[in-house]
Amino acid sequence: MHPKQRPLNCSKFADQLGLKNLAKTLPAFEGAPIRVRFLPELRAGRDKLYSRRPYGQPVYAASFIRRRSIVLDEELARKRRELARIVVHELFHFAWVRLGNRLRDSYMDLLREERKAHVRGELGWSAESRKQRLHEAVGRARREKRWRDYACESFCDTAAWMYAGIGRHPEFTLAAGHRARRAEWFRAAFEGREIPI
């Protein structure tokens, strides 16, 4: 373990957000603490996050990897199930950047197989909206960026489906067989070890 990394106390983290049950479903993490705060009326645009501003698209959350922080919309404080799902999604943004090329490529290979098979659906709107826009990208660099963005959001949405403790959600539209393959990938990648975040 890197000297700055230590096990993240999931129970304490979940308790601070009022999500005691989340500590039971989260995997073990290692890494420096992550600060979480709530702001009203979040919107994002042009790679910036706004609160109580008329521009940008409404969002529930944003992660700032280098700053080790997550910002959540205040509205989530009243929606515990959705808060759990969004928090897990955001935590896995930290995991994605520390995943390493081998595991990241392996997950993207899984997605490529789904794409070749014309698999529909996803495990959250973040991934679904990016998946729908993949065919719109013109130029190799733009296609690659859109593909990486989609893969990251798919990874985070899949983690939220697996670890937030929510069995059903309207955004869980990926077929059961493909969900099972993704769950198998996560178990093979992370079982028996702490996930670096």
pLDDT digits (tens, 9 = 90+) for 49-59: 999 999 899 99
pLDDT at 139: 82
Cβ–Cβ < 8 Å for 38, 68: no
Contacts of 145 (CB under 8 A, 6+ apart): 137
**DSSP letter string, the chain:** --TT--EE-HHHHHHHTT-TTHHHHS--EESS--EEEEESSEEEETTEEEES-SSSEE-SEEEETTTTEEEEEGGGGG-HHHHHHHHHHHHHHHHHHTS-HHHHHHHHHHHHHHHHTT----SSHHHHHHHHTGGG--SHHHHHHHHHHHHHHHHHHHHHHHHS--S--TT--S-HHHHHHHHHHHHHHHTTSPEE-
Residue-wise pLDDT tens digits, 123-161: 999 999 999 999 887 788 888 999 999 999 999 999 999
Residue 129, amino acid: S
pLDDT at 20: 81
**97: pLDDT confidence band, cut at 50, 70 and 90?**
very high
